[in-house]
Amino acid sequence: MPEPLPPPNFTSGAAYPEIGRLRIALTAGDFATVRKVFAGLDTNATTIAVGTATDIGGIEAALGREWQADPDDALIGTLLGAHLIQAGWTIRTAALAKYVSREQFEGFRAYLCRAEQVLIDVTARHPDYVPAWAKRLTSARGLQLGPSELRRRYDRLAAHDPHHLPAQSSVLQKLCPKWGGSWPAVQAFVKECTDTAPPGSHNAVLVCEGHLEYMGTLGSKKKAVEYLQDPRVRQEIYAAAERSVWHADFTNAVGWVWVRATFACLFSLMGDHRAALTQFTALGPYGNASAFDYVGDGEQEFVRYRAEAYAKGAA
């Protein structure tokens, strides 16, 4: 009998030492180190790092003081805006709108309006600061701003970074019917992003994200698995893998764990254990449960499908 697999590490940013250092520095209020860590990140990694730092409690006041001391600091302003957005979303929760109370919506909107004030100031002073524009896409979704304003913000960002995956993922969410969009709009945007992204980049994971969002509306895992037997859907997912995780130019840049885990989830649900194994093997000790959350308890589903891939994928 094979040895049991060790538990995967689901810690946010565990695969990225720089994010670990960032979290320690933010918790300690060591903003000199915070700036030093961010100085070594590209724009994509910066936006991801800003996102992973929003769950650090008790630092909003310190960020506010730091930004008031230097309102021209785009990084600190973006971190503050991101924390305000996260605080609002914590009040709202991830529930469907019909399950969110009036009081929750009011608290949610109040925090997002505060975040908007900060981020508008950041982008007015630094119109090329991509991470701030990325957070303004999130606030646009929460404030239910229309598609033209969403596109305006995305186009301002894309003028400086046309393949910014965190921003594209945020736009994809807003284009879903649950936020007032449509599936054709999702499909068109995914095609726009993946067709123009360099081969080997992470962006083709958007194909998987779009299918996962649609599967989430089907009502059961059984229906989701049946959907993934459609030859057209399967071909789209395999083609996306060829452009990203299976491409020779794919790199383990910040965000790679989410990308590989998302493909592992789709391959597992498709019943392609061999393909799933390629991703679970590449993930090594790391895990990301976000894609698996669509079909149950994400961490439990990740562990279960990983074990199944190792048991059946090498046969």
- In 3D, which of 27, 122, 23 has the Cα closest to residue 70? 122
pLDDT for res 13: 79
Q: Does pLDDT of 5 surpass 90?
A: no
pLDDT for res 121: 97
Please state which of the ranges 8-22, 89-103, 301-315 shows the lowest mean pLDDT: 89-103
- In 3D, which of 130, 117, 119 has the Cα closest to residue 42? 130
The CA-CA-CA angle for residues 284, 290, 293, to 5°, reads 115
Question: CA-CA distance, 135 to 166, in Å (whole number)?
Answer: 9
Residue 17's Cβ-side half-sphere holds a number of Cα atoms within 13 Å equal to: 1
Q: Does domain 1-162 have CATH number 1.25.40?
A: yes
Segment 224-274, tens digit of pLDDT: 999 999 999 999 999 999 999 999 999 999 999 999 999 999 999 999 999
pLDDT for res 3: 67
Q: Does pLDDT of 1 surpass 50?
A: no
3 state SS of 296: coil
Give the model's confidence band at 98: pLDDT under 50 very low, under 70 low, under 90 confident, else very high.
confident
Residues of the chain with CATH 1.25.40: 1-162
Q: What single-letter amino acid sits at 179?
A: W
Q: Does pLDDT of 4 surpass 90?
A: no
Residues in a beta bridge with 286: 9
pLDDT for res 2: 60
Look up residue 290 and give its DSSP letter.
T
Segment 62-90, tens digit of pLDDT: 999 999 999 999 999 999 999 999 999 99
pLDDT for res 137: 97
pLDDT for res 99: 87
Q: Does pLDDT of 140 surpass 60?
A: yes
Q: Is residue 135 within 8 Å of residue 115, measured between CB atoms?
A: yes
Exposed, middle or buried, 276 (CB in 10 Å: 0-12/13-18/19+)?
buried
Q: Does pLDDT of 16 surpass 80?
A: yes
pLDDT for res 279: 98
Segment 104-124, tens digit of pLDDT: 999 999 999 999 999 999 999
